Amino acid sequence: MKRAAGRARHVLDAPHPILSTAAEQVDPADPNVVAAAADLLATLRVEPSLTGLAAPQIGLSWRLIAFDARRHPRSRSGAGELVVVNPLLAQAAGWRGGREGCASITGLTAEVRRATRITVHGRLPGTGDPVTIDADSFEARCIQHQLDHLDGLLFLDRVPRALALHRKLHSCDS
């Protein structure tokens, strides 16, 4: 199936009610969902430092995530550029802290504990084919961050202590 080009959309800034709301499951074959997947990918491509986005960040309370962690220096696994519909975290292991930021929260980063090895199941937009992603290291962190968005959570909700919150001072801070 030929993939639509998609249209880059505005990324919402927190605070915004959509970013604090659990997103809904969608039909991966629905043309509107396919179009949204293309838009999510187009938005992700706009900013080269972005490694992932979730549909609520572009104003859609749907369970869609897009990611491409290949260019990040802390990446090991690399599923490549991917949009996943209704993703579900099936396995998580090897918890470790690491600093992360968010396209919807400019100016802040925090140390957040995430699993370093995960397995995620979901569907591909359009065909609805099942997809399984085994990710580790930074890609695993990136995917978990996007999954949180689908549950209305921000990385701020996982900050482990007062001194783990930081003002972003450097471009490499996330």
Partner 1 sequence: MGLSAVTVLGVDRPGVIAAVTGSLADCGANIQDSTMTLLGGHVAMMLLVSGDLSSEQLVKQLDTLDLVVTASAVDARRHFGCKAGGLGYVLTLHGPDRPGIISAVSGVLASVGGNITGMSTRLTGRLYVLIADVDIPEPVDVAALMCDLATVGSGLDLEITFRPVEPDLL
Residues found near partner 1 in the complex (CB under 8 A): 13-15, 20, 105-108, 110, 113, 154, 156-165, 167
User: How far, in Å, CA of 67 to CA of 57, rounded?
Assistant: 13
**149 annotated as a binding-site residue:** yes
Contact 171, 109 (CB under 8 A): no
Residues contacting 170, CB < 8 A, separation 6+: none
Cβ at position 70, least distance to partner 1 in Å:
29
**142 annotated as a binding-site residue:** no
Cβ at position 50, least distance to partner 1 in Å:
18
Residue with tokens 């490694």: 51
Which of 64, 77, 40 minimizes the C-alpha distance to 147? 64
Nearer Cβ to partner 1 (58/108): 108
Nearer Cβ to partner 1 (35/92): 92
Nearer Cβ to partner 1 (86/116): 116
Which of 27, 144, 142 minimizes the C-alpha distance to 80? 142
Nearer Cβ to partner 1 (117/168): 168
Torsion angle of the four alpha carbons 122, 93, 100, 18, in this order, in degrees rounded to the nearest 10: 40
Cβ at position 35, least distance to partner 1 in Å:
29
Cβ at position 166, least distance to partner 1 in Å:
8
**10 annotated as a binding-site residue:** no
Q: State the binding site for Fe cation.
A: 102, 145, 149
